[in-house]
């Protein structure tokens, strides 16, 4: 029997039971759609975070902070460790002595009320040496309008794009050369004391669209480090960004070790590559977990196929008897049943991939509209957008997986059908 004839015979058998075949197909559709949606969303999330980290995070930098390492609670203050060790602003001098270190810059970062006109926001206020910072992050700490003063003596402010234009629609919160009020409550003294800082906006950074890990971000307010020390009444800094001579693995390792030794192991130095690796590991695990859940639904769909095929086998016992009496080989009977599963699997998987892809977009849109991004800001304000990514691997993998599940679960019914003896099958009522 020719292959095309086998296929059209199988197809005819499916068409006869449209509802049943449709429901079976639906099982596969749901399983595959779940896999595709979950994987393409998590892939999109991973891509978007990786890109943002790479933008905001030069590969030849290290972040020195106290404690166990750099968390992902971005913008938070990394304060006292258990041992009471603190990193001071002038600790950069110690780091600058280390071989292969090009320069280092201390960062003080606190959440403050930022006021202009009638509006106020909570924003991350970062005290930093403008000159060095712009050298380390030359591509991101760059003014779009105004000029970043290299050695500011008076009270200047540099703001991120999203501080000046919070909704990205031209409704300005503050413009260049306007004054901005920073209000910070010092809760370390009794009674808590309100400190204020009024500065003129000297520069607005160009849009970065990236997360803030050591590097500049769209939603931060920058003031000179000396002013920050005065405002916050402390010499303690939250982290020190170290620029290396190069981004060789050996340099990164050597400098990290030297920094740890210099501070008697009280600090940790994290490289951007390390952060990316951690992230990538986390995402692989999440992806695996999600794919596992989706695979269970596909397993259920597979059992559905098997169930349907066995019912179909019983219904069609007589038909199989006729086919065999007409001289059809057992192998052909097997192939016909497998073909039915292949058709169902292929249809289910194709529809599943498409609807999963659509589902991913719907989910992203719904989350993007009301979702919470890093730092409690909505995704838009933090410059974070996710677009689902359907990699060829996921696309082909999902199709193949759907097909394999259908075939595997059809094997037993098909084998049983092929083993039927003609006389007994013909006698079956």
Partner 1 sequence: MANPVIETINVGRTYLLGKVPVDALRGVNLRVEKGDFLAVLGPSGSGKSTLLNMIGALDKPTTGRVSIDGIDLSTLNDNALADLRQKIGFVFQFFNLIPRLTAKGNVELTLSIAGLSRAERGKHATYLLETVGLKERVNHKPAELSGGERQRVAIARALANNPKFLLMDEPTGNIDSTTAEEILDLVKRLNEDKGVTIVVVTHDQRIASQARRAVQMLDGLIVREKVN
The residues binding partner 1 (CB under 8 A) are 1-2, 5, 9, 12-13, 16, 318-319, 321-332, 421-423, 426
Please report the DSSP string for 237-294 in residue order. Answer: -SEEEEEES---HHHHHHHHHHHHHHTTT-EEEEEHHHHHHHHHHHHHHHHHHHHHHH
191 cis-preceded (ω within 30 degrees of 0): yes
Q: Which is nearer to partner 1, 178 or 319 (CB)?
A: 319
- Give the helix/strand (H/E) hosting 124: strand 119-128
CB of 319 to partner 1, least distance (A): 6
Q: Is 93 exposed, middle or buried (0-12, 13-18, 19+ CB in 10 A)?
A: exposed
Q: Which is nearer to partner 1, 318 or 361 (CB)?
A: 318
Q: Which is nearer to partner 1, 17 or 206 (CB)?
A: 17
Alpha-carbon torsion (136, 140, 141, 145), positive or negative? positive
Give the C-alpha separation, 278 to 289, whole Å: 17
**Around 334, how many Cα atoms within 13 Å sit in the side-chain half-sphere?**
10
CB of 8 to partner 1, least distance (A): 9
Within 102-238, where are the H helices? 130-136, 161-164, 225-232
Give the C-alpha separation, 268 to 312, whole Å: 65
Q: Are 328 and 69 in contact (CB under 8 A)?
A: no
Q: Which of 245, 242, 272, 250 is nearest to 100 (CA)?
A: 245
CB of 330 to partner 1, least distance (A): 6
CB of 421 to partner 1, least distance (A): 8
Give the C-alpha separation, 143 to 57, whole Å: 18
CB of 390 to partner 1, least distance (A): 38
Q: Which is nearer to partner 1, 9 or 395 (CB)?
A: 9
CB of 350 to partner 1, least distance (A): 25
CB of 423 to partner 1, least distance (A): 4
Q: Which is nearer to partner 1, 155 or 340 (CB)?
A: 340
Contacts of residue 391, defined as CB under 8 A and 6 or more positions apart, other chains included, come to 40, 43
- Give the helix/strand (H/E) hosting 7: helix 3-16
CB of 38 to partner 1, least distance (A): 39
Q: Which is nearer to partner 1, 58 or 333 (CB)?
A: 333
CB of 416 to partner 1, least distance (A): 15
Q: Which of 416, 192, 420, 167 is nearest to 310 (CA)?
A: 416
SS3 425: helix
Q: Which is nearer to partner 1, 135 or 330 (CB)?
A: 330
Q: Which is nearer to partner 1, 3 or 171 (CB)?
A: 3
CB of 11 to partner 1, least distance (A): 11
* Alpha-carbon distance values, 127 to 110, 142, 229, 230 (Å): 9, 16, 8, 10
Residues paired with residue 111 on neighbouring β-strands, in sequence order: 124
Q: Which is nearer to partner 1, 321 or 352 (CB)?
A: 321
Q: Which is nearer to partner 1, 5 or 144 (CB)?
A: 5
């Amino acid at each position: 029997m020719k292959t095309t004839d086998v296929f059209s015979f199988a197809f005819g058998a499916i068409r006869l039971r449209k509802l049943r075949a449709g429901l079976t197909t639906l099982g596969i559709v749901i399983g595959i759609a779940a896999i595709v949606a979950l994987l393409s969303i998590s892939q999109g999330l991973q891509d978007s975070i990786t890109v943002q980290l790479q933008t905001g995070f030069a590969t030849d930098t290290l972040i020195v902070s106290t404690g166990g390492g750099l968390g992902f609670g971005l913008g938070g203050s990394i304060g006292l460790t258990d041992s009471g060790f603190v990193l001071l602003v002038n600790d950069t001098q110690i780091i600058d002595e280390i071989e292969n270190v090009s320069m280092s810059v201390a960062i003080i970062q606190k959440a403050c009320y930022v006021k202009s006109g009638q509006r106020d926001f909570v924003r991350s206020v970062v005290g930093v040496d403008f000159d060095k910072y712009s050298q380390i992050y030359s591509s991101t700490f760059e003014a779009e309008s105004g000029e970043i003063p290299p050695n500011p003596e008076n009270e200047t402010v540099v703001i991120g794009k999203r501080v000046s234009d919070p909704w990205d629609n031209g409704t300005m919160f503050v413009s260049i050369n306007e004054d901005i009020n920073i209000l910070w409550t010092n809760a370390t003294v009794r009674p808590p004391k309100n400190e204020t800082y009024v500065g003129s906006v000297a520069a607005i950074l160009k849009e970065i669209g990236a997360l803030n890990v050591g590097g500049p971000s769209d939603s931060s307010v920058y003031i000179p480090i000396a002013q920050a020390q005065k405002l916050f009444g402390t010499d303690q800094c939250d982290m020190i960004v170290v620029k290396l001579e190069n981004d060789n693995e050996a340099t990164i390792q050597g400098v990290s070790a030297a920094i740890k030794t210099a501070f008697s192991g009280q600090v940790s130095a994290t490289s951007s590559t390390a952060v990316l690796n951690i992230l990538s590991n986390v995402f692989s695990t999440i992806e695996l977990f999600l794919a596992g859940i989706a695979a269970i639904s596909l397993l259920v769909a597979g059992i559905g196929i098997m169930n349907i095929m066995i019912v179909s086998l019983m219904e069609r016992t007589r038909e199989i008897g006729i086919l065999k009496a007409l001289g059809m080989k057992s192998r052909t009977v097997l192939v016909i049943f497998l073909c039915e599963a292949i058709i169902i699997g292929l249809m289910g998987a194709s529809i599943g991939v498409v609807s999963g892809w659509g589902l991913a977009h719907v989910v992203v849109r719904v989350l993007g509209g009301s979702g919470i991004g890093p730092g409690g800001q909505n995704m838009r304000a933090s410059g974070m957008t996710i677009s689902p990514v359907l990699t060829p691997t996921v696309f082909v993998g999902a199709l193949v997986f759907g097909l394999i599940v259908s075939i595997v679960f059809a094997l037993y019914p098909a084998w049983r059908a092929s083993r039927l003896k003609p006389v007994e099958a013909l006698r079956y009522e």
